[in-house]
Amino acid sequence: MSEKETEVLKAEVHNEPDTGGLVLAAEVLPATLPIIPLRPRPAFPNLLVPMVLNDPHEVEAVKRAMESPSHALGLVLAKHADLPDGPDNLNAVGVAGKIVKIIHMDDNSAQFLINTLERFTVEEVTQTGGVLYGRVSYQYEPELSVNSELKAYSMAVVSTLKELVQINPLYSEEIKLFLGRSSLDDPARLADFAANLTSADGKELQQVLECFDTRKRIDMVLILLKKELEVSRLQSKISKQIEEKVSQQQREFFLREQLKAIKKELGLEKEGKTAEIEKFEERLKELKLNDEAQRTVTDEIEKLRLLEPSSPEYHVTRNYLDWLTILPWGKFSKDSYNLEKARKILDRDHHGLSDVKDRIVEFIAVGKMKGDISGSIVCLVGPPGVGKTSVGKSIADALGRTFYRFSLGGMRDEAEIKGHRRTYIGAMPGKFIQAMKSAGTSNPVLMLDEIDKIGASFQGDPASALLEVLDPEQNSTFRDHYLDVPFDLSNVLFIATANQLDTIPAPLLDRMEIIRLSGYILEEKMEIARKYLIPKAIRNAGLKQGQVTIRKAALVALIDGWARESGVRTLENWIKKLMRKAAREFATGRTEPIVIGRDDLISFLGQPLFTTEEIFENVPGVVTGLAWTSMGGATLPIEATAMPSKGKGFKQTGQLGNVMVESSEIAYSYVMAHLKEYGVPEDFFDNHFVHLHVPAGATPKDGPSAGVTMATALISMMTGKPVRAKLGMTGELTLTGRVLPIGGVKEKTIAARRAGLKTLIFPEANRKDFTELPEYLKEGLEVHFAKEYTDVYKLAFERRKQQK
């Protein structure tokens, strides 16, 4: 129904003729009414309400009402809006109304105007043919003499309505309609009208409808009106704020546009696109691009001139030109080839590592003779915490080059290396081009951290993408997918870091010069802690020099009991913890200095994580081997035992890898083939089940270097002879008894010194590796080299006879 039709119809109702006091049959409200359930608000008496129904049962109720003389219909609020209509889903109080005009009605829908008259209480509800009927009792408004209290309430309601009209003019139309049919002097009607005017929820309005006491009802309505007034004020405030903000933005926009036009007329400012093009051209004056890149930049600038700033292609071209012109084409920093200065910088930043420092100084010396260090790719390999990253920084500092580091660990997308193609939204160059932009020169030192932890996925293989970058023959024309022009990376010094080489693809490893950082022994760690770690931890904890002192014995115990790994990162963390404990003491009022002795460590740090490595002596069947791990070197006791059995058998335990299992089987076969030679009955294995175990069963172990140790353990078990005291050995064994070379000589020597071993057996082929070790590592060790296993046997067993 249109608003115009409603207004005309309301006017017709207001102008109905007076019947002169006679009561017509049509004006008598029946005791039983067809009921229409309302949602979500109830109707109030003495109002003209337009209604639209789309339920066939409700339309049928309207038809039944129109057939009665009174045309009366009951309107009752449903208790639950989401439940179907029924006798149990109706509130107890509703409103009776008279249908005054049918606008439209068919079997499924109806549109009409109803004049609500009186409240009623539902006595009983029945349902016939889907239509609800209610037997009701009417609650007529009593004739009231308006006392001062009711008049005050009425005036309060009227005053609140006036305030609402001032805030929201829409309320004025409703008030005009009400005044046309009623008077403000009637408190009951005023309360119903005001309640209907609010936006309160159905439950609150139903409570007002069910209140038959006019005094209480008008009090409830006044509360609802006050709430409505507050909501309207808040709504008005929000609308005003939004309007002010929009107006301010529009004003600023117009002013900026006017200012831009004025500046353009006066020649004080150029158009955005022109300024961008001039910025790019200004950058190009300082760069030396190759021919292909120069042609591409020229073409892209010409394209930019033709594009409108509002075009999406404009922003793609602008970003592309921004990257092309911001890269350091032809910009180089001057290299420093001062070998003495380089050595001083390396000694300043790192204690020990003399072999590594010598390699780096030699590397710089070659660059001095050649005149450049182009095409160099160095890989620093070592356990965590030995200073690989800081060595890379020192190299950059020694050369006077810019240093930039990024991590390859966990990288799985080839686009991280070579960039995304410009056709993709949000495309960017790869890490190497981004690094060149950040470095600002064409010859920085780029550190590729964790190259051994690079991954691969369905998005590509980053390790394969690195092959072009790290190949001196190819990286002079490195072509990033985003730039799509060659960029020269041949002057970059690449320094990669890795904990181990096993996971690096062979073609990639072939391109790099390997420098090993094996780790630190106890004496080196003590010097590092004294010179670097302790002063740094004192500064970072906010302490002053002299407030905390760590005694030498305490430092030795700290390294041996809490920080036994090859690097010093864990040692640094424990020293930090000591300083935090000390800072807490001073923060709570302590003034005298703290001196940390050996016996104080447990109270500060708790129990040690490591105990002294137990070396079994004079125990047949137990031999100490030397192992290499990614964390450095370690001792590895190997145990063998035999049980009487009806048949031969061999078992290995200790979570051994495939290669180590094969080594144990080779040792078993070798010993079985030479039983007579070592004084063992030839039928020993026919009558015994042999068990070989490597302790620390929760730790996976693999590698071939325990072959000679396993064979020695088996012979010791069978002969009942223990090996000589404080002996450690390592070497790969073959079926013919040859002892093959192994890796990690330095790490294994450090582990042997830490465990207190005095005699070591290495393969003969590793003699050169041991000779290159620093003298302080070799001092106090009796080292033998074996070509054949018979050499190992003599050193392990026959020397023991001489010792006795």
Tokens of 366: 């070659």
Written as six digits, the tokens of 447 are 């550190």
pLDDT, average across residues 418-423? 82
Percentage of the residues of the chain whose pLDDT score is greater than 90? 14
pLDDT > 50? residue 10: no
- Residue partners of 611: CB distance under 8 A and separation at least 6: 561
CA atoms within 13 A on the CB side of 235: 9
Average pLDDT over residues 174-201: 73
The residue from 388, 525, 701, 748 that is catalytic is: 748
pLDDT of residue 357: 81
Strands 632-644 and 688-693: antiparallel
For the ranges 8-22, 592-606, 614-628, which has the lowest average pLDDT? 8-22
Task: Give the up-direction half-sphere exposure of residue 798: CA atoms within 13 A in the CB hemisphere.
Answer: 8
**pTM, rounded to two decimals:** 0.57
The CB-side HSE value for 762 (13 A sphere, CA atoms) comes to 22
Q: Which of 66-80, 160-174, 500-514 has the lowest mean pLDDT?
A: 160-174
Higher pLDDT, 177 or 788: 788
Q: Read off the pLDDT of residues 679-733 as tens digits, 9 standing for 90 and up.
A: 888 888 888 899 999 987 667 878 888 999 999 999 999 998 899 888 999 999 9
Partnered with residue 549 across adjacent β-strands are 595
Q: What integer pLDDT is reported at residue 177 of this predicted model?
A: 65
Quick check: 269 pLDDT over 60? no
Please, which contacts does 593-597 make with residues 24 or more away whose CB atoms are closer than 8 Å?
593/546, 593/547, 593/548, 593/549, 594/547, 594/548, 594/549, 595/549, 595/551, 596/548, 596/549, 596/550, 596/551, 596/554, 597/551, 597/553, 597/554
Neighbours of 38 (CB within 10 A): 21
Of 72-86, 165-179, 284-298, the one with minimum mean pLDDT is 165-179
Please tell me the predicted confidence (pLDDT) of residue 766. 92
227: buried, middle or exposed (CB in 10 Å: 19+, 13-18, 0-12)? middle
Question: What is the reported pLDDT for 251?
Answer: 80
Provide the pLDDT for residue 25: 44
Mean pLDDT (the chain, rounded): 83
Which of these, 602, 540, 556, lies nearest to 548 by C-alpha position? Answer: 540
pLDDT tens-digit map of 721-732: 899 888 999 999
Q: What is the mean pLDDT of residues 198-226?
A: 84
CB atoms within 10 A of CB 278: 11
pLDDT of residue 458: 59
Strands 445-449 and 493-498, sheet pairing = parallel
The pairing of beta strand 478-479 with beta strand 486-487: antiparallel
pLDDT at position 266 is: 67
Q: What pLDDT does residue 83 have?
A: 86
Residue 802 in this model has a pLDDT that exceeds 70: no
* Per annotation, catalytic residue among 442, 566, 705, 716: 705
pLDDT at position 614 is 60
d(CA 768, CA 504): 26
pLDDT of 12 above 50:
no
pLDDT digits (tens, 9 = 90+) for 322-373: 888 888 988 888 888 888 888 888 888 887 777 778 878 887 888 888 877 7
Residue 18 banded pLDDT, cuts 50, 70, 90: very low
671-675, 689-693, 751-755, range with the lowest pLDDT: 751-755
Model confidence at 246: pLDDT above 90? no
What per-residue confidence (pLDDT) applies to 275? 79
- 705 assigned to active site: yes
Residue 612 has pLDDT above 90, yes or no: no
CA dist., res. 551 & res. 546, Å (int): 12
Whole-number pLDDT of residue 206:
85
| pLDDT category of residue 271 using cuts at 50, 70 and 90 | low
pLDDT band at 15 (very low <50, low <70, confident <90, very high): very low
In this predicted structure, the answer to whether residue 85 has a pLDDT above a threshold of 70 is yes
- Distance of alpha carbon 372 from its chain centroid, rounded? 42
How far apart, in whole angstroms, are the C-alpha atoms of residue 42 and residue 209?
8
In whole angstroms, give the CA distance from residue 466 to residue 505: 11
